[in-house]
Amino acid sequence: MDLMLADKTEIQYFNELQNSSHEAFDYFFDKYYLALFAYANKMISDGYISEEIVQGMFMELWENKSRINIHTSVKSYLFRSVHNDCIDFIKRSNNGHKIRFEKLHDIHEPNVEFYDTLIESDFEKVMEKMFSELPEQCRIIFFLNRFDGLSYKEIALKQNLSIKTVENQIGKALKLIREKLQSYF
């Protein structure tokens, strides 16, 4: 991450996001994705659907960035969006079993501080272990993409691989991560 970006407030990042800054989008994605996933999974109890909800929320954030007004907390906005999307999913779901609705009543508001603590303590250990268990090539490619921000094409050139191989390795990493996260939650 660029040192210049590290000194900015979230509102400044959000203003840059509204001006189509991919770096600002990546900042929010990298910082909140896992916590938002954990929150969605607590509501939905399905890792695949939770991942879809969070990814969908980030897609909507990007697509509607110019129409969204945030003046206080981007974090709260993101958690509230995921919360609402989970509620919408539960209401629409043909599998909306009574248990899910009972669970919904137990989860009133996103407890942002709880998820911050989760990410900063035990969850980081789980993530480190999970990343260390990825096959070496898969891990390297995943890190180059997600943490260094390289495109598939850039990774392919850097690692002397085809773009299709890079795509496959990223897909493999995401699948393994999803499976590990489901067992964690």
Domains of the chain: 8-120 (1.10.1740.10), 124-185 (1.10.10.10)
Looking up tokens 């999974």 gives: 41
pLDDT in tens, 134-182: 888 988 988 888 777 888 899 999 999 999 999 999 888 888 877 777 6
pLDDT in tens, 88-142: 888 887 554 444 445 554 554 555 555 555 555 556 666 777 788 888 898 898 8
Rounded to an integer, what distance in angstroms lies between the CA atom of residue 185 and that of residue 179? 10
Rounded to an integer, what distance in angstroms lies between the CA atom of residue 181 and that of residue 178? 5
132: CB partners within 8 A, 6+ apart: 139
For the chain, state the CA radius of gyration. Answer: 17
Rounded to an integer, what distance in angstroms lies between the CA atom of residue 111 and that of residue 21? 28
User: What residue type is 1 in one-letter code?
Assistant: M
Query: 6-20 in b/e burial notation, b at 16+ Cβ within 10 A?
Result: eeeebeebbebbbee
Looking up tokens 């407890």 gives: 111
pLDDT in tens, 58-82: 999 999 988 988 877 888 899 999 9
